[in-house]
Chain A
Amino acid sequence: MSRTTPVAAMPMSGHTPDTGGRRLPRVLHPVAWWIWALALATAVSRTNNPLLLFLVLAVLGYVVTARRTEAPWARGFKYYLYLALTVVAIRVLFRAVFATGITPHDHFLFSLPHIPTPDWYAGIQLGGPVSLEALLSAATDGLRLACMLCCIGAANTLANPKRALRVLPGALHELGVAVTVAISVAPQLVQSVQRVARARRLRAGRNKGLKALRGIVVPVLEDALERSLRLAAGMDSRGYGRAGTATRSSRRITGALMLLGMCGLCAGAYGLLDATTPTFLGLPAMAVGAVLCVAGLRLGGRRVSRTTYRPDPWLLPEWAVAGAGVLSAVLLFSNVGYNAAELNPSIYPLSWPTLPLVPTFAILLAGSAGFLAPPPTPPNPIAPRQRAEKAEAT
């Protein structure tokens, strides 16, 4: 699951672009990647079969290595893999320590020292015998969660988070900018912590305790505050937040619409989940709420007048990638052509998991995003003339 798996260790094809035939390299619409990844995560939630789960990881690894760019955010997939590994480990560890659900027919592996618990704590057992079945079920559960995490990680790696925020409706523009600024401030904060910590040594200040913390936190925060004030001044003088066509009354209407819409959504959710409520409180309330919210967002969007530079197009590859993801989720939920029990192989009694044909096909279908998406822009495009010169030189 870490670097050593064959998939993750594959050569990074980001350096050798154009695996996509004659297609021009370009960046896929970030929303397409998010739909693809979320659909795949939904599909994963359906199965407990370790073979299928490993297949999903392999597919994610392939798509990420094939279609990620060289940008800073695209280097983070391995951290999601570490996180996934941690999730599995914690899951297994807890299951071993809190030895629950052991039946007499289990295959016992080893026994942890039993820690006696007081009477009022009787429900939970600490330590005791550990069985193969318990560990396996914990591991597959953890693996499923890990796969879903990796799906999100893949979306974050493949789509530029800042470009993804651009699709927010105009009314939420301020929110998008706040998140964008926060994203760019975080690395600067890390840098200034490193710089100040290094400078601390020059003063031979104490390295431990509250005083040392203060010596680092105070300059860093002061630095960050000053920097953000300068950034705010810069954004203001570059036209951020210019008044659009909205008037006072339209702003009030926007507020009212949003508030009513939110109420509708809440009531609808409540109605749907609680069977005893009258039917009009269910889907109808939810629909009305949604309509009101959309209207509010549209009206609020008029307040902000701005345009987008080089908007990402939504073309055939976007449809294909999003479609592949959605189709795989639909196949895994449809129960057509395979036995649903194969998705969740039995642990009691232990049996070797099988690889059902249709779900395997569904997951491989999601993997086709690796070549359905256009190749990413190479990091430093070499001009044809330079390329010719290089060829001559070699």
Chain B
Amino acid sequence: MITFDQVTVHYDGAAKPALREVDLTIEEGELCLVVGHTGVGKSTLLGAVNGLVPHFTGGTLYGRVTIDGRDTATHPPRELADVVGVVGQDPLDGFVTDTVEEELAYAMEQLAIPPTVMRKRVEETLDLLGLADLRHRALHELSGGQQQRVAIGSVLTAHPRVLVLDEPTSALDPTAAEEVLAAVTRLVHDLGVTVLMAEHRLERVVQYADRVVHLPGNGQVVHGAPTDILRTSSIAPPIVELARAASWHPLPLSVRDARRAAAPLRSTLAGTTPAPIRPTPATDRPALLTARGVTVSYHGVPAVREVDLDLHGGEITALMGRNGSGKSSLLWALQGSGPRRAGTVRVTGAGATHDPHSLSAVHARRLVGLVPQTPADLLYLESVKQELDQADSESAKEAESSGARSILDRLAPGIPDSTHPRDLSEGQKLALVLAIQLSAAPRIVLLDEPTRGLDYRAKAELTRIVAALAGEGCSVVISTHDVEFVARTADRVVVMAEGDVVADGPTSEVIVASPVFAPQTAKILAPLPFLTVDQVTSALESAAPTPRDGEDRA
């Protein structure tokens, strides 16, 4: 169906080609997963399938890409629209019309499909993706998962044989992501659509994949069955890491398979207490921030309802909940920049307590630093150095804080001064904005969905940074959808739903109890209280001699 024949893609001005001599054949009806770190050429590979690379992006493509017998060299993307459907990361960016039904029909209108056929296909697609109730709704009113399903539907109506999905679930909460992935697998199994999908969070999708294409980072491509590729790849979901640690054969990819393989491991680990993921913080620390009855509402609709929250120094809190449950509103209200209808926020700093809402922006950011959902909103200068200098001048009223440059070097070493902020990777942008915010030396740091679009490596970096901040006595709050990240990083989890706090407690208690939020390791090893693979390996190492001794004696 899709054939890459000795494909090399070289962007103008780039030192190395983005893809080098790629040979790849994807058969009809396969669900093919593209994995790799940020910036290894995943998007280039996906874009080459329908000719967006190089027709739209520029650069030079050597070799040949054919889809269903059509060469992309002679067919620009619009001429392939009836064969390939492309869905991007943020569905809102791709919408041309404003209601669900019209969006579904748009591609067909361009293909000049007769109105009667169009009408029928729209109805079929509405049913196929479970969108029938939403048909007249405006696109911007839908939830993230619904929008992504509409985006998939809008390319499906053209009856493409190939579907290309570039990180379709990266902006979605776990439930919405399940919704989208269920729709995709249904297309593969029921309609035989060939799907090529890039995804950072492998734990969600790897079990559905027929084949994995791994981009190790040198421009080349390794592909094969998921079990073969993942056994050795540098990127692996927790389930695979656990399987490697426990040396299971064959490699399980779903929680169900892993649980069946894990019976001996569970009996080995029974009775051992997992080492705490992070050193247990002292219990009698005073609260740095005390919020009581915080209420936020927009146009009379409450977003946060009378939330009480205490934040202590040295503690990492994860704020979870589905999209629109009030996480961002709560963070902005705590920082003092966002609206707050009722309630009090007291922040202890420099020997006195203040309400950040009543302080000037300059003083508020010295108490509470917030990194917004799109960190790039804060960047507007031409180079990293200018941004850092500007940050110093903005917050240098009290000279006790160290310079933004030294903070950035600590967070993400090796970002040159002259780089344009827009050219940084997502992780580096986050580090830069965090450095700018930390230059004011706040004791409380709030991060609004920092894990969005980060790969495993960048998330591990973030965990390290956040742990270091907590070690210095800061209190860190991270709102996120990523359960695996939470399991590795947070001391405490606060779950919000419809503006209320519905759960608040230590990570191990809150996320293990929930079927949606439990990390893979916990699901596999339940009822044992293990959350991460690291805990299992360290427990195995320390416990290894004992059972063998026992066996020897027997």
Residues of A that sit less than 8 Å from B by CB: 71-72, 162, 177, 180-181, 184, 195-196, 198-205, 214-216, 218-219, 222-223, 227, 230-243, 305-311, 377, 381
Give the distance to chain A from B49, nearest Cβ to Cβ, in Å. 10
CB of B114 within 8 Å of the partner chain = yes
CB of B533 within 8 Å of the partner chain = no
Task: Find chain B residues with CB under 8 A from A234 CB.
Answer: 86, 88, 93-94, 96
Q: A236-B77, A237-B84 are in contact. List 4 more A-B contacts (CB 8 A).
A: A177-B96, A198-B332, A219-B380, A231-B93
Picked from A214, A232, A236, A307, the residue with its CB within 8 Å of the CB of B118 is A307
Q: Is the CB of B154 within 8 A of A310?
A: no
Give the distance to chain A from B339, nearest Cβ to Cβ, in Å. 10
CA distance A231 to B364 in the complex (A): 38
What per-residue 1/0 map shows which CB atoms of B29-52 lie under 8 Å from chain A?
A: 000000000000000000000101
Q: Is the CB of A237 within 8 A of B77?
A: yes
CB of B376 within 8 Å of the partner chain = yes
Task: Find chain A residues with CB under 8 A from B348 CB.
Answer: none
Picked from B101, B106, B377, the residue with its CB within 8 Å of the CB of A238 is B106
Q: Is the CB of B337 within 8 A of A309?
A: no
Most buried by B among A227, A232, A240: A240
Q: Is the CB of B365 within 8 A of A204?
A: yes
What per-residue 1/0 map shows which CB atoms of B358-374 lie under 8 Å from chain A?
A: 00111011000110101
Give the distance to chain A from B363, nearest Cβ to Cβ, in Å. 8
CB of B250 within 8 Å of the partner chain = no
Considering the complex, which residues of chain B in the window 111-126 have a beta carbon less than 8 Å from any beta carbon of chain A? 111-115, 118-119, 122
Q: Is the CB of B362 within 8 A of A204?
A: yes
Chain A interface helix/strand/loop/mixed: helix
Q: A204-B365, A234-B94, A238-B155 are in contact. Are A306 and B110 (CB under 8 A)?
A: yes
* 10 A-B residue pairings within 8 Å (CB atoms): A199-B377, A203-B365, A219-B376, A230-B94, A237-B77, A238-B94, A238-B107, A240-B96, A241-B78, A309-B101
Q: Is the CB of A238 within 8 A of B154?
A: yes
Q: A201-B337, A239-B81 are in contact. Are A307 and B108 (CB under 8 A)?
A: yes
What per-residue 1/0 map shows which CB atoms of B419-430 lie under 8 Å from chain A?
A: 000100000000
CB of B82 within 8 Å of the partner chain = yes
Give the distance to chain B from A274, nearest Cβ to Cβ, in Å. 45
Give the distance to chain A from B423, nearest Cβ to Cβ, in Å. 12
Residues of B that sit less than 8 Å from A by CB: 50, 52, 55-56, 76-82, 84-86, 88, 90, 93-98, 101-102, 105-115, 118-119, 122, 136, 138, 154-155, 158, 332, 335, 337-338, 360-362, 364-365, 369-370, 372, 374, 376-380, 391, 394-395, 422, 436-437, 440
Q: Is the CB of A309 within 8 A of B377?
A: no
Task: Find chain A residues with CB under 8 A from B119 CB.
Answer: 309-310
Give the distance to chain B from A219, nearest Cβ to Cβ, in Å. 5
CA distance A223 to B379 in the complex (A): 11
CA distance A243 to B110 in the complex (A): 10
Picked from B93, B138, B360, B370, the residue with its CB within 8 Å of the CB of A202 is B370
Q: Is the CB of A230 within 8 A of B93?
A: yes
Residue of A nearest to B381 (CB): A218
Picked from B94, B111, B440, the residue with its CB within 8 Å of the CB of A242 is B111
Task: Find chain B residues with CB under 8 A from A242 CB.
Answer: 78-79, 81, 110-111
CA distance A195 to B377 in the complex (A): 8
Q: Is the CB of A239 within 8 A of B78?
A: yes
Residue of B nearest to A73 (CB): B98
Task: Find chain B residues with CB under 8 A from A198 CB.
Answer: 332, 337-338, 372
Task: Find chain B residues with CB under 8 A from A231 CB.
Answer: 93-94, 96
Task: Find chain A residues with CB under 8 A from B440 CB.
Answer: 204
CA distance A240 to B394 in the complex (A): 47
Q: Is the CB of A238 within 8 A of B378?
A: no
Task: Find chain A residues with CB under 8 A from B378 CB.
Answer: 199-200, 202-203, 219
CA distance A72 to B99 in the complex (A): 11
Give the distance to chain A from B91, nearest Cβ to Cβ, in Å. 10
CA distance A177 to B95 in the complex (A): 12
Task: Find chain A residues with CB under 8 A from B86 CB.
Answer: 234, 237-238
